[in-house]
């Protein structure tokens, strides 16, 4: 399990987000080709383990997680961006059996439009600290 699993679980259990994007189109990892839109992918950008001096026991991991939104219109891209942000609140505690220390913003990506596929895309990053 990882920070991506924490973000994925929080989004797949958020009713407001699920009203716009079915759970089957929220992926942990790469979005398969020909997936209907809107769709969301959750990937890991980087991670750092912070072991204690004894190098044993509980390890705190800080993982940068990127959530990428694929939409069919610019307004829906922005709506989904807001829903994703709301589904990943500044929080801590147990998430699907993992101990989540914190979820904090780490920046928004640019607006991207692909004129071949007519897809609107944007990503957000979150720093997710969790215990391994």
Angle, helices 74-87/3-12, rounded to nearest 10 degrees: 110
Whole-number Å distance between alpha carbons of 36 and 19:
15
Architecture label for domain 3-131: 2-Layer Sandwich (3.30)
The pTM assigned to this predicted structure is 0.88
Residues of the chain with pLDDT below 70 are 1, 51-57
Domain ranges of the chain: 3-131
Q: In angstroms, how far is CA 97 from the centroid of its own chain?
A: 17
pLDDT of amino acid 91: 80
> pLDDT digits over 30-44, tens only?
899 889 999 999 998
Please tell me the distance from the alpha carbon of residue 15 to that of residue 106, in angstroms, as a whole number: 24
**How much is the CA Rg of the chain, to the nearest whole Å?**
15
């Amino acid at each position: 399990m990882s920070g991506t699993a924490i973000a994925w679980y929080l989004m797949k259990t958020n009713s407001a987000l699920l009203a716009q994007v079915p759970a089957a189109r929220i992926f942990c990892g790469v979005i398969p080709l020909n997936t209907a839109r809107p769709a969301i992918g959750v990937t890991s950008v980087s991670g750092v383990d912070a072991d204690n001096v004894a190098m044993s026991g509980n390890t705190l991991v800080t993982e940068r997680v990127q959530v990428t939104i694929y939409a069919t219109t610019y307004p829906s891209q922005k709506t989904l961006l807001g829903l994703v942000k709301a589904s990943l609140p500044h929080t801590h505690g147990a998430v699907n059996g993992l101990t989540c220390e914190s979820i904090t913003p780490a920046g928004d990506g640019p607006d991207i439009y692909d004129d071949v596929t007519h897809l609107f895309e944007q990503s957000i990053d979150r720093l997710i600290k969790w215990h391994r």
